[in-house]
Chain A
Amino acid sequence: MKEISKRFGEVQALDNVSMKIGSGEIVGLVGENGAGKTTLMNILYGLYKADKGRIIVNGRETNIQSPKDAISHKIFMVHQHFKLIGNFTSLENIILGSTSGREDFKRMNLQVYRKRIEELMREHKLEIPLDEKVKNLSAGTQQRIEILKALYRMAELLILDEPTTNLTPQETDELLRSVLEMKKRGISVVLITHKIREIVETVDRVVVLRKGKLVGEVPKNEITPEKVVEMMVGRKVDLESELSNIIVPRAPGAEEAEILRIEGISTTGDEGIKLKDISLAVRRGEIFGIAGVSGNGQKELCETIMGIHRPIKGRIIYNGKDLSEADVKERIKQGFRFIPEDRMIDGSLPTMTLSENIILGFQNFEQFQRHGFLLYEKINESARKAIAEYEIRAPNEKIRVGKLSGGNIQKVVVARALLLEPGLLIAYNPTRGLDIGATEKILRQIVELRNSGVSIIMVSEDLDELMLVSDKIAVMYKGEIIGILSKESFDKSKIGLMMAGIREGGIGK
């Protein structure tokens, strides 16, 4: 790819980026969120059109207009959000779109397809259930389906976008093993990631992007995580030591008062994952981390604590008060604050103003209304403060939130959660999609909140981040808490095993 440029509105997503991928080579494409890694690969895959630049495949200049063109050049991309049809079976997903011309209109012969896929499954040691609907399968299995889709199309270049996001550390190892396996068969692989540590062992070369620009390349023998991160961010970063400096240590044993107590919560599972008999206690000034492969009930647990879903049994006690019957409004009044999973889907009101977004959940608070009518002056003032404090890039507080960039919307969502003294903060991936600067800022704020005595429940897909700030970590698997570790016993591989459902000292249910 040569001199690729791409603009989205006012954002220069890519600026004159060139990169090469050799045959049978594994290239790590790294950079912070928003650096343009995915955009670059989406251009190679024909999903986006470059404003400028050329693509050369096997020595020939190629015009890739659509994924169809890319696939015909044996290029295949597995996106971070899998492109699978939930209501179709694995088999249907794999063959979907692989036919053309007259074959399209003939009666489908599923047996023939099945044979070929079964061969591929054996050859690459990728096992999947072929007749199950995809929506019922785990993230790991779905990823294998995506890879089989590529192999079925005889891909020679496979692009994997943030492939480890939804995997346990052990599943990640397994994935990287099959990547090496593909390399042996001459398939080139591009691994897009912002977690450099995971891929150091596997890649032959690393290409670093920052703010849409190519920063440099590092050959295998020169890669060190520190060096690459510095290239990604543009300065020396040591999140670890910076944050651990401000975390006020707790003497072991000297436990603070209990703020939140959850006793034996179970749900019907209508809202997603069924929670099974969950009990936990969160103390004053404590960050209670929740780890797990995404989709194991973390979201449902957070939402049940917020009062969004009603459990079929169990109690929620906050500051000694039984809030099991309280609705979301009442819990917010009591001091519950929420950073939901997805700022777009459940965190923001796109057609409403930044001011109106900031008070979502507080619209009935004394500060913001009188006799049922909103006090817009005060609301706007709070919003202006938040813009300044969180460095939200917005012209004013009256802009519609849908017009902001993803990172800025995330800041709005976080600012809302911290607007009026929280008592208990439930933070789901609070740093999702933010660059290191903003991540650091938000983590720092959360830690400071903890130091000031607020209790925090934090869910994160980034295990390193979670281990860094949490006082305790509970691991969830299939709607259960499979174990709770305290800070002194944090251990990545142990947590990883628990994330796969293996209990401490034995096999789980």
Chain B
Amino acid sequence: MTAVSKTTVKDYLKAAAYYLLAIAAAFGVAGLILLTMHQDVLLGYKTILTTSFSSLPNFALTIFKFTPIYLMGLGFSIPLASRKFNVGIEGQFLLGAVGAAAVGITLTGMPGYIILPLLLTVALIMGAIWASVPALLLYFFRVNEIISTILMNFISFYLVDLIALGPWRDVTAGHPMTIQISSSARLPIIGSQINIGSLFTIALAVLGFFILYRSTFGYELRASGSNPIAAFKFGIKTSFLAPLSLVLGGAVAGLAGGLEVSGLYFRLVEGMQSNYANLAIIVSLMARGNPVALLLTSFFFSMIEIGANAMQRTMGTPYEIALITESLMMLFVMTVDAIRQKRR
């Protein structure tokens, strides 16, 4: 028994070392790019790795980024369990934001304990509805979800533009955005810096883990992802579960949008989705869809984001370098996996 556990510990350490190597390789490529741009590479690394911890506001900022990235990552992870790629988290996030803004703007004079849950529920439902279009297309017509969810993203961009320039438009702003939501619809702040929305991530990580890895529902979902034909022949309704997982993922992404409106922007702003969706996809893949591991990868990437923003401010390094590094990181991690598998 002890022999077995010893080898597994050794295996884990070995795997960890390989992954660190992959991450280092991605940073190495980033360094090369910085070199060609005549930038101070070492200062770049230092900025990326330490900015988040350099001050409390910076740490709070990291958490602000972490929340939507984590939740959208979870929105990608749930369908991933059934091998469906929910690339539409971006649109689902935006629709959640639209729903939250609508509730927050129209319902005034209500106490926070009524309006806040309502706002978040509406955000959740809006995200789910947006995801249910590709889900229905998958269920009835077997339309590939990658393409359909992406198309829904583009539709959502124009929808947000329409609303941000519509009757709720903030005419004083130079950028398309709505007026602010009522003050009771805003999330409270704890400790003067940290937004309460981030607590949702911990709760959902635990919940998500138990649902995916301990419940019969999660079992059936993972079975459909592992081998849909076998799952189907043993009575699992795969053709229903996969679309359902998309809807659930959409709901979580929608919640992320609601939290952004209620906790950060206090309104609907065009472009508020930033590039969270791309990051969320990478962190989810890197966490292998595991909601707990996702906490780690999301935080790591939020850190890189804050660092990259700081680099843009202080060193004039274009932010895109972060995006390149992050996608390479995941490609290298998978390379490590592929090579290790071949060796075996």
Residues of A that sit less than 8 Å from B by CB: 9, 303, 306-308, 327-329, 331-332, 338, 340, 345-352, 356, 360-361, 363-364, 369, 372-374, 376, 395-396
- In the complex, what residues of A have CB within 8 A of residue B231's CB? 349, 360
Please determine whether B216 and A374 come into contact, CB atoms closer than 8 angstroms: yes
Please determine whether B230 and A346 come into contact, CB atoms closer than 8 angstroms: yes
Measured CB to CB, the closest approach of chain B to A159, in angstroms, equals 28
Contact with A along B216-228 (1 / 0, CB 8 A): 1101101101110
Q: Interface-forming stretch among B232-240, B245-253, B258-266, B321-329?
A: B232-240
Residue of B215, B223, B229 with highest tally of chain A CB at under 10 A:
B223
Inter-chain CB contacts under 8 Å: number: 69
Please determine whether B232 and A308 come into contact, CB atoms closer than 8 angstroms: yes
Pick from A327, A331, A360, A364: contact of B230, CB under 8 Å: A360
- In the complex, what residues of B have CB within 8 A of residue A363's CB? 216, 219-220
In Å, the complex CA distance between A487 and B285 comes to 57
Please determine whether A9 and B344 come into contact, CB atoms closer than 8 angstroms: yes
- In the complex, what residues of B have CB within 8 A of residue A376's CB? 214
Please determine whether A328 and B234 come into contact, CB atoms closer than 8 angstroms: yes
6 contacts between A and B (CB under 8 A): A9-B344, A332-B235, A360-B234, A361-B234, A374-B214, A374-B216
Please determine whether B214 and A347 come into contact, CB atoms closer than 8 angstroms: no
Please determine whether A345 and B229 come into contact, CB atoms closer than 8 angstroms: yes
Closest to B217 in A: A372
In Å, the complex CA distance between A254 and B217 comes to 47
In Å, the complex CA distance between A361 and B227 comes to 13
Q: Does B12 contact A (CB under 8 A)?
A: no
| Interface residue total, chain B, C-beta cutoff 8 A | 21
Q: Does B158 contact A (CB under 8 A)?
A: no
Residues of B that sit less than 8 Å from A by CB: 4, 210, 214-217, 219-220, 222-223, 225-227, 229-235, 344
| Residues of B contacting A: mostly | helix
In Å, the complex CA distance between A364 and B234 comes to 12
Pick from B215, B225, B226, B229: contact of A373, CB under 8 Å: B215
Please determine whether B233 and A338 come into contact, CB atoms closer than 8 angstroms: yes
- In the complex, what residues of A have CB within 8 A of residue B220's CB? 363
Decide yes or no: A352 and B223 within 8 Å by CB, A9-B344, A372-B216, A373-B214 being known contacts.
yes
- In the complex, what residues of B have CB within 8 A of residue A374's CB? 214-216, 219
In Å, the complex CA distance between A360 and B236 comes to 9
Pick from A352, A364, A369, A395: contact of B4, CB under 8 Å: A395
- In the complex, what residues of B have CB within 8 A of residue A369's CB? 216
Closest to A10 in B: B344
In Å, the complex CA distance between A286 and B182 comes to 74
- In the complex, what residues of A have CB within 8 A of residue B235's CB? 307, 327-329, 331-332, 361
Residue of B219, B225, B227, B235 with highest tally of chain A CB at under 10 A:
B235
Residue of A9, A327, A332, A347 with highest tally of chain B CB at under 10 A:
A347
Closest to A375 in B: B214
- In the complex, what residues of B have CB within 8 A of residue A360's CB? 223, 230-231, 234
In Å, the complex CA distance between A35 and B233 comes to 31
Measured CB to CB, the closest approach of chain B to A30, in angstroms, equals 31
